[in-house]
Amino acid sequence: MRHRRTATTARRGFSLIELLIVISIILIIITMAVPKFNKAKEFANETQAISEIRTIHEVQVQYQSQYGRFATSLTELGPPQSGAASPAAADLVDATVAAGVKSGYKFTVTGNQSGYTINANPETYGTTGNRTFFSDQTMVTRANDGAEPATASSKELR
């Protein structure tokens, strides 16, 4: 005897239409969530850049007290290739920061006997960050809300 499908017989699986509706709903939710995730990631990168600037300030003070001058580059603050720490590589920051790129930002340090400057700019403006940062031996961090690098005349970050 053949088994006929009746109204009381349980259905097995989902129809193609039902699956397409569920996939459409998931895609709509993802479309709304991705921009918020990207903004959160940019904010995290900017927060990390500000934190790294503070770290560079601290190690510049250490460097100056050890060697009698400010470091002229991030390489001088980084780890030595081999051997002990020296003015050429004081081992005060990790290799990532010494290389100049961390958390989507490019860092540059220039210095001389009496002072130094720090710039932090997004690797890809609008993707890894929307602000640029500047600071110097005054330890005041400044920001620019655009792609142009921040300078000593940019607005103070509070």
pTM recorded for the entire structure: 0.79
Q: How confident is the model at residue 10 (pLDDT cuts 50, 70, 90)?
A: low
Q: What is the mean pLDDT of residues 2-18?
A: 69
Q: Is the pLDDT of residue 106 over 70?
A: yes
Q: Please state, in angstroms and as integers, the Cα–Cα distance from residue 66 to each residue in 51, 62, 70, following that order.
A: 23, 6, 10
Sorted by where each begins, the domain ranges of the chain are 16-156
Residue 131 has what pLDDT?
Answer: 96
Could you tell me where the DSSP H helices lie in the chain? 16-67, 74-77, 95-99
pLDDT digits (tens, 9 = 90+) for 34-68: 888 999 999 999 999 999 999 999 999 999 999 99
Q: How confident is the model at residue 13 (pLDDT cuts 50, 70, 90)?
A: confident
Per the CB < 8 A criterion, the answer to whether 50 and 103 are in contact is no
Helix (H) or strand (E) holding 112: none
Rounded to a whole number, what is the distance in angstroms from the first to the last CA of the chain? 82
CA distance linking residue 42 with residue 158, whole number of Å: 18
Model confidence at 4, pLDDT cuts 50, 70, 90, reads low
Supply the pLDDT for residue 60: 96
* Residue 3 confidence (pLDDT): 57
> Which band of pLDDT confidence, cut at 50, 70 and 90, is reported for residue 114?
confident
pLDDT of residue 7: 55
Q: Closest by alpha carbon to 105, among 96, 114, 113?
A: 96
Alpha-carbon Rg of the chain, whole angstroms?
27
Predicted pLDDT of residue 5: 56
- Rounded CA-CA distance 62/79 in Å is 14
The pLDDT of residue 139: 95
> What's residue 34's pLDDT?
87
β-strands 116-122, 105-111: how paired? antiparallel
Return the SS3 of 89: strand
